[in-house]
Amino acid sequence: MSAQHTADHPSATAVGDVAITRVEEMHGPIMPPSDFFPTIPAAAWAEHADELAPDHLESDLSMIKVAMQTWVLRSQGRLIVVDTGVGNGKSRPAVDAWDHLDLDYVQRLRDAGVDPADVDLVVNTHLHVDHVGWNTTLRDGEWALTFPNATYLLPKADVEYWDPAKNSNIAGGVNENVFEDSIQPVLDSGRYEVWEGSHAIDDDLTLLPAPGHTPGTSILQIASAGEHGLLAGDLVHTPLQVGEIGHSSCFCEDPAAAARTRTAYFGWASENNALILPAHFCGHTGFRVAREDGRFRISEWADLGRL
């Protein structure tokens, strides 16, 4: 895996009364399509290459391109950070490009008007390595909360699933060491809330279960002033999945469940003209979908700080 670090400025939009700012940690090529999506035939990538390259796929079709990023929300007087990337200084033996990073992510937050001490809530849509890393920062040899005054919202199913004391399959995988340096310090701090089923953050924002990618994967649904949005987490990793909705990534714990979840939320999004903001799109960072003849297609793109 590899990633390009960028100094591009974040950009903002709004869904109803909810202001949304995109703050990127890194972006670039990450994996060959055949590895990332083993069930998508090579011909499908070639057929849609003009739509995917160069933002989401290398022009020679060799590597899928993704971003690691945070969505910052301002809603009803609160400052909310959704997903926290890979993080600095962390031991990630399974992914060389993520091992002991030294990035300027916190400065990018500040450039977006976000002082970590002012953040009210941190939402981890799920507990994969690339969504929880900046939960903590190394200070005086210990992992301390990056957002010291925030409440961290954690999906219960993932807290249980990724605990190495309960799951012996974590060692050697991409989530090795993640619980110890990015989740356990949050639990030890007491500044967290574990949720299941659904969780209303305020009148405009609701966390909903989206199982399949991981047992506790969630999305953040926005319904505000007659407008709708989905902070979709890892519901989708490439635009090709919109038309090829039955295909899930190699990182999905239950690929069939992930496909069912994706279909259900895309259906809701098409009915409500919702802006979909996935966790990992670079270039075009958001989109709307329409359903035609039983299939979904992207009906409109949204660029929040195009790379």
- For 225-282, what is each residue's pLDDT tens digit? 999 999 999 999 999 999 999 999 999 999 999 999 999 999 999 999 999 999 999 8
- Round to whole Å and give the CA distance between 232 and 217: 10
Provide the domain count of the chain.
1
- pLDDT > 90? residue 287: yes
Is-contact 24 8, C-beta < 8 A?
yes
Contacts of 110 (CB under 8 A, 6+ apart): none
Residue 153 inside a domain? The answer is: yes
Of the chain, the percentage scoring pLDDT greater than 70 comes to 95
Residue 20 inside a domain? The answer is: yes
- For 117-127, what is each residue's pLDDT tens digit? 999 999 999 99
- pLDDT > 70? residue 19: yes
Residue 5 inside a domain? The answer is: no
Question: Once rounded to an integer, what is the mean pLDDT over residues 35-41?
Answer: 97
- The answer, as to whether pTM is greater than 0.85, is yes
| CA-based torsion, 128, 249, 24, 224: positive or negative | negative
**What pLDDT, on a 0 to 100 scale, did the predictor assign at position 3?**
40
Q: Residue 232 maps to which CATH number?
A: 3.60.15.10
Residue 269 inside a domain? The answer is: yes
Question: What confidence tier does 303 reach under pLDDT thresholds 50, 70, 90?
Answer: confident
- For 156-198, what is each residue's pLDDT tens digit? 999 999 999 999 999 999 999 999 999 999 999 999 999 999 9
> Which residue segment(s) compose the domain that 38 sits in?
11-302
Residue 3 inside a domain? The answer is: no
Residue 307 inside a domain? The answer is: no
- For 290-299, what is each residue's pLDDT tens digit? 999 989 999 9
- pLDDT > 50? residue 67: yes
Residue 2 inside a domain? The answer is: no
Residue 4 inside a domain? The answer is: no
**What pLDDT, on a 0 to 100 scale, did the predictor assign at position 11?**
64
